[in-house]
Structure 1
């Protein structure tokens, strides 16, 4: 039997992406997000229209999509519920967001110079994609879809199948977000501040 519960959140399972962009003053912003998909050498990113990342993408048009492995979950969670925007909306304040100027430092992450775009890569991420925005699409009442072209991909050597240009899926363990909780290798790997802020129920709390 199937239920028709009218799900509030549809994050069935998507990779976490650390998006690095440039602020108006030239400093780097870093933001975790998990509404992304790829086709060929293009990607579509979905995010709220009022974030600092959204403003940077529209103004500057470049970014790096850094894919963390599951062992990086603590660094990702440290920068959750932070924003590079000084003016925080009432909605985000109620969720517990706070302004942080240097999210690389907060997460214990290292900026790494990119080859073709201005925003830095995240050295610790085993997969990094330098991208340029091609189009911005309104999506829902308060979000945008950002269509980006991947200009160059950097992959940790140990993830590449020798003699090919393909990633070994047995070696690559991406950090996945399912309904605001962090997963890796098919198991819940870390308590999520975001899930708490969204007041997401757990299996334990529902029994």
Structure 2
């Protein structure tokens, strides 16, 4: 399935736990699901073992807040470093060398290197399956968008300037440089 549903955008989700320890993790099961109101969702997989839920999910459940940061080519390797399985008390910002910056409406920090951030409040959690390799879908209302002017062409995000990456199957990622346009039929 992960080899067929490609390319997948990456939600680079920052959260904090109840004590304020920052967490950062990439999720390639991610999309927008409403424009009015703006809502995004990502899905976390239930793992096998003593700790079936990722720290991200535990933190969102504890605080009701998260930030989605869009991943660009220039910090892809640092994003990948945060996918390591580490103890909850490890700050993935420090682990990866990425820079936390304050959010305006939620407690989790944003990733300074990211050109687009979405500050979110938990809208709903939907348990698809709580079995190993099952999924828990997390919906968030976007409270505030932050867009770096360096990636704007007028009032629109220029994909050539954003240079977002996507996930293919396994360890393979994709750049978004090869694009084409098609007009919608009338």
| TM-score greater than 0.5 by the shorter chain | yes
Shift of residue 171, structure 1, vs aligned partner:
2.1
Secondary structure (helix, strand or coil) at the match of 1:150 reads strand
Which consecutive unaligned segments of at least 5 residues does structure 1 have?
1-6, 86-99, 188-207
Partner in structure 2 of residue 80 of structure 1: 83
**After superposition, what is the alpha-carbon deviation per residue over 1:59-106, rounded to whole angstroms, capped at 9, x for unaligned?**
211000011102211111222223343xxxxxxxxxxxxxx7021011
The answer to whether the aligner puts 1:69 opposite 2:72 as a matched pair is yes
TM-score, scaled relative to structure 2? 0.81
In 2: Cα distance, 1:170 partner to 1:161 partner: 10
Q: Of 21, 30, 54, which aligns to 1:27?
A: 21
Residue number in structure 2 paired with 1:36: 30
The structure having more radius of gyration, on CA atoms, is: 1
Partner of 1:151: 143
- Deviation at residue 9 of structure 1 after TM alignment: 4.9
1:118 to 65, 89, 107: 107
2:48 paired with 1:54: no
Q: Structure 1 residue runs of 4+, over 6 Å off?
A: none
For residues 9-59 of structure 1, give each alpha carbon's deviation from its aligned partner in whole angstroms, at most 9, with x where no partner exists.
Answer: 554211122111111221111111111100311111111241111111112
- TM-score w.r.t. length of structure 1: 0.73
- For residues 108-153 of structure 1, the C-alpha deviation after alignment (integer angstroms, 9 at most, x for no partner) is 1011000000000000011111000111101133321011111111
Kept after mapping to 2: 8 A contact 1:136/1:144? yes
Give the structure 2 partner of residue 183 of structure 1.
174
Q: Which consecutive unaligned segments of at least 5 residues does structure 2 have? A: 47-52, 179-186
User: What CA distance in whole angstroms lies between the structure 2 residues aligned with 1:84 and 1:60?
Assistant: 19
Contact 1:51/1:83 (<8 A) preserved: no
